[in-house]
Amino acid sequence: MSMHRAMIVSLAACGLLVVAQQGRAADSFDDVRAAIRKEIDGGVASVAVAVAQNGKIVWEQGFGIANKETGRQADPSTMYVLASVSKPITSTGMMRLVDGGRMQLDAPINDYLGDAKLVAIVGDIRDATVRRIANHSSGLPEHAMSFHLDEPYSAPPADQTIRRYGHIVAPPGTRWKYSNFGYGVLETAIARTSGQSFGDYMREEVFLPLGMKRSSAYPQRPVDDNVAARYRRDGSRITDYNGDFVGYGGIYSSAHDLARFGMFHLKNKVSGSKRLFSDARVDELHAASYDSGWWGVYGLGWFRSTSSEQQLMVWHAGASYGTRAFLGLLPDRNVAIAVVSNSDTESIETIRSALLAKFGYQEQLWSAKDRSSPNEPAPSFSEQLRGEWTGLVHTYRGNVPLVINVGADGAVDAKLGLGPVARIANARVKDLSISAELPGSIDTDDARRRRNALQLTVNLYGERLVGDLGTKVPWPREKVAGDFVSHWVELRRSGSSAGATL
C-alpha cells in the first residue's frame, strides 16, 4: 500500500472513530430522549437540544414540529425565540465594546445614550452605571411591551420608551430588581456606541465570529424556512409578536448555536470560532456581582448557582408566550447544555434537569424555601409606614392623584384618581416597603391597549415613598403576550404634599 493511500485509510479510520465516539456519547442520552418524546406526546410542539463537552458537541437533536402549518420538523438548526436567554448574549455584545475601550462598566449608562436619558427619582443618576444596568441593580423597575403583528400597534422608537419609562425608583446599587427594561437600555447604548443597529452589531461582532450562523438580533422574525412558530398550551398558533426591545428577550437562535456560544463562555477553542475577548473578560461576565435572593447570585447577564454537591452552574433561562429556553454551563465538567422549545409549558424544566443530572448536577434553582406561603405569619413592618400618604402617579399623559393609608395592623386603604376608597385585600407591608394590587386604571395609550391590573410597589426613602405603579397584563390573558409598563410614584405624608384625601 502506498504511503498516500495509507494516510487516507488512517484518516478515514480516525473519522470513523470520532463518529463512533459521538454515537456512543449520544446513546447515553436515551433516557432524556424518552422524556422529551413523552412531552411531545403530551402536547409540546417541539424541543431542540444541544450538549457540548470539552469543546465539541456530543449530542444535538430536534423533536416534534417546529411549524405545524408547513410540517417542518424541528432540528438542531431550527431558530427559536430565546426570551431571557437573550440577556447573556446582549451582555456579551456589551463586553465586546468594553474590551475594545469604547465602553466602561463603571461609567454612567447615560454617557452612552442619546438625548433620551434615564432620570433618577431617588439616588444619584451617575450611579446608574453600565455594570448596574447589566446586573439588575440600577434601580429601574420592571417593564416590557409586546406587539402582535395582527394588532394595530407597533414598537415605538427606543428614545420614546426611555423618555416615558426610564425612571430610577431605587438608589442605584441598593437592591436587585430583575428589569427587562434595563437590557433594552443596554441594547440602545450598544447601538449608539457602535454606530450600528443592534442587529447589525450583534451579527458582525458576536454571531459571525462565533460561527453562530443561525442567530439573529433584529426586531423582525427571521425570513427563513426553519424558524419555529409559537404555540399555546392547547396547540393553537400564536400570532408572531415582538417586544419594544430585542436585547432583553427577542433574540433568535438555534440549539446548535447556543451550544457554540456556551463553548466560547467555557473558554474552549472551537473550530470556526474566534475569541471575542480575553478569558479574564469572560470571568468578569460570570463573576458574582449581586445577590438576587432565591434566584441565585447574578453576574452580568448570567446567574450563578451551586448544586447540593457545590458544583457551579452559570446559566440563564427564558420564558415568554409560546417559547422556553435554557442555557447552562458547568465549568468543572466543561459542559454546555442548550434546550429550546416553541411551547410555553414547564416541560423544559424537567428536560434540563435530566440533562444536568447526566453531569452530576442536581438542580436546586427553583427552591421555594424563601418564597412566601399563604400560611406564613404577616411580615413585620416599620412604624414609619403607618398613617396617610398622598402624592402622584406620574405618566407621560399627566399625573394621577394617589392616596394610601396604612393602619396599625398593616391594613391598606387606597384611592387612585377619582376612584373610590378601597381596602386592598392582598397588600403586603414589610419593613419599609408596600406592595399591592390597586383597583382602577391608568389613562395612557400604552396602558389602554389591553385590559390590565395595577401593581403598586413603593419603598420609604427619608420622608418619601417612592416606587412604581405597573400596568400588568400576564400572558396568556386575552391570548396575547404579556405587558408590564411602570409609572413612577412619589408619596409624602398627608399635609406635606398636595393630593386627594381619603
What local confidence, expressed as pLDDT, does residue 378 receive? 61
Q: Give the CA dihedral 302, 306, 312, 318, nearest 10 degrees.
A: -30
Beta strands in 323-379 (DSSP E): 323-330, 335-341
> Helices in 253-317 by DSSP H: which ranges?
255-265, 279-286
Residues 76, 63: Cα–Cα separation, whole Å: 9
Instruction: Count CA within 13 A, CB hemisphere, residue 71.
Output: 0
Residues 415, 422: Cα–Cα separation, whole Å: 6
Residues 297, 306: Cα–Cα separation, whole Å: 10
Candidates 61, 263, 33, 291; CA nearest to 176 is: 291
Residues 307, 293: Cα–Cα separation, whole Å: 16
Decide: 265 and 85 in contact? Cβ < 8 Å. Answer: no
Q: Name 269's Cβ contacts closer than 8 Å, sequence gap at least 6.
A: 55
CA-to-CA separations, 501 to 173, 325, 427, 466, in angstroms, rounded = 34, 48, 19, 18
- Matching residue, cell 437533536: 61
Alpha carbon 433 to chain centroid, angstroms: 25
For 383-493, CATH number out of 1.10.3470, 2.60.40, 2.40.128, 1.10.10 equals 2.40.128
Residues 201, 191: Cα–Cα separation, whole Å: 7
* Per-domain residue ranges of the chain: 80-357, 383-493
Q: Name 208's Cβ contacts closer than 8 Å, sequence gap at least 6.
A: none
Q: Is 170 exposed, middle or buried (0-12, 13-18, 19+ CB in 10 A)?
A: buried
CATH number belonging to domain 80-357: 3.40.710.10
Residues 62, 496: Cα–Cα separation, whole Å: 63
Residues 202, 194: Cα–Cα separation, whole Å: 10
Candidates 386, 496, 482, 367; CA nearest to 434 is: 386
> pTM to 2 decimals?
0.91
Candidates 46, 7, 20; CA nearest to 341 is: 46
What local confidence, expressed as pLDDT, does residue 155 receive? 93
What local confidence, expressed as pLDDT, does residue 371 receive? 43
Candidates 351, 305, 304, 345; CA nearest to 324 is: 345
* 3-class SS of residue 469: strand
Cα-trace Rg, the chain: 24
Q: How many residues does the chain have?
A: 502
**Backbone dihedral region of 423: left (phi > 0), alpha (psi from -120 to 50 degrees) or beta?**
beta
Residues 495, 338: Cα–Cα separation, whole Å: 57
> Helices in 266-345 by DSSP H: which ranges?
279-286
What local confidence, expressed as pLDDT, does residue 482 receive? 87
Residues 416, 397: Cα–Cα separation, whole Å: 16
CA-to-CA separations, 433 to 427, 443, 458, 468, 478, in angstroms, rounded = 11, 26, 6, 12, 32
- Quick one: DSSP state of residue 293? G
pLDDT under 50: residue ranges of the chain: 1-23, 365-374, 497-501
What local confidence, expressed as pLDDT, does residue 18 receive? 39
What local confidence, expressed as pLDDT, does residue 261 receive? 98
- Matching residue, cell 456606541: 193
Candidates 159, 251, 243, 188; CA nearest to 214 is: 251
Q: 171-208 pLDDT, tens per residue?
A: 999 999 999 999 999 999 999 999 999 999 999 999 99
CA-to-CA separations, 73 to 61, 76, 165, 227, 343, in angstroms, rounded = 11, 10, 41, 10, 14
What local confidence, expressed as pLDDT, does residue 377 receive? 61
Side chain identity at residue 141, one-letter code: P
Residues 484, 470: Cα–Cα separation, whole Å: 6
Residue 328, number of CB atoms within 10 A of its CB:
24
